[in-house]
Each structure stands twice: as C-alpha cells, then as structure tokens.
Chains A and B, each alone.
Chain A
C-alpha cells in the first residue's frame, strides 16, 4: 500500500525560481492537506481541499498556490520561491469519518 506519496523528496531552488510539489493518495480519501514544518513551529496549514473541486486557505497561504487535480492528487506550487519558504513540506489526506490524517514522507525544500 503506497498511502500518500510526495515528490520530490528533496529540492534546492534559487530565489525566484518556481516549482511544484506533487502529492497523490491511493486511499480514496476526500480531503487533502499541505503543511509546512519549520524548527520549533510545529505543522502549519498552508492550504487544504475538503473535497474534489474545492480548495481553502489555511494559516500561511501567501506565496503558494494549489490545485486539486482529481480525487487522488493535490499539488502545491511556489511561483517565485523565497528563502523564507525553506522548510519541510508534508502532504496529508484524511479518512473523513474518523478524522485521522495520513501523512506523506515529506519534501525538504531549500531556497538559496
């Protein structure tokens, strides 16, 4: 069982470059989430998609865009990367009836 798959696992960008983090889940979950984790900051919600076709801002959406491509896939795009976006990014999906989040392995992004 693959669960939640994120790509890439590591990425180094220069300031101003763009990139997309990909996330896919094979558990038929309705809701998907993107978080960033910085040292001492816990997980901060960037965007989430409660169901296919909907997206909502979380706590820290500035500088990011998302696309819920279909029920399986939820991508996160950085249009013009900044050093402040250096972080570990986690994608997660939820089994709505029980509310448990299933996480991907994380993507470590460094912006120089």
Chain B
C-alpha cells in the first residue's frame, strides 16, 4: 500500500514566523511531489510542485525534496493570517495515481 504521511498538527505560528510542514512517502518509484492548500469548504489549490532533489523557491514558499529519505517539506516564510489553511502533500506514482496525506492544519496568529 502506497502511503503518504503528514504530521497532522494542528500547527500554530505567529504572524511573520516560518511555518514548516513535513511529509514522508513510502513508494520509492514516486517522481512528482506537490503541496496543495485547502481553505475550509473549498477545493485544494496547488501552491508548489517539485520533481528533483533539493530546494525550489517560489515567493514566500520553499519546497524541499530528499528522495533518498523519501521526504518532502514545505517552508512558508513571513507567515500571514491568510496562510491559515490545511496543507496537503501529494505524491504521484509511476502508474499515474496521485495520493494525498491527511493534511496539516496551519493557523497563523496575528
């Protein structure tokens, strides 16, 4: 069974701090990794994708991938109250299935 694990949280950080979200996966054949943000009652929306080892930065967001450790992380710098949401890690397998972790609820306090 392919598994994607996230620390379920909730995670609470003060405004302006760095939020760190973590994810591990079991399928070593996985090639594509994603972070989605989901506001309550809404559909998930993509915020970052990463395909190779290392860091990928996009504005205040940095995704990190370590395939040897089967680990993906998301850092949110200068966290804002509008970042308060559930963050979902997703992993795409080599047969095109896309599986999600349970999500981490983040609260950014003003």
Contacts and interface: CB of A to CB of B under 8 A. Distances in A.
Interface of A: 31, 33, 35, 40-45, 48, 50, 56, 58-59, 90, 92, 94, 96, 98-101, 103-106
A41 B6 CA distance: 11
Nearest to A91: B43
Contacts of B16: none
A40 B102 CA distance: 6
Contacts of A104: 43
Interface string B26-64: 000000101010000001111001000000000000000
Nearest to A100: B46
A48 B97 contact: yes
Q: Which of A42, A92, A100 has the most CB of B within 10 A?
A: A42
Contact of B34 (A99, A103, A105): A99
Nearest to B32: A99
Nearest to A31: B96
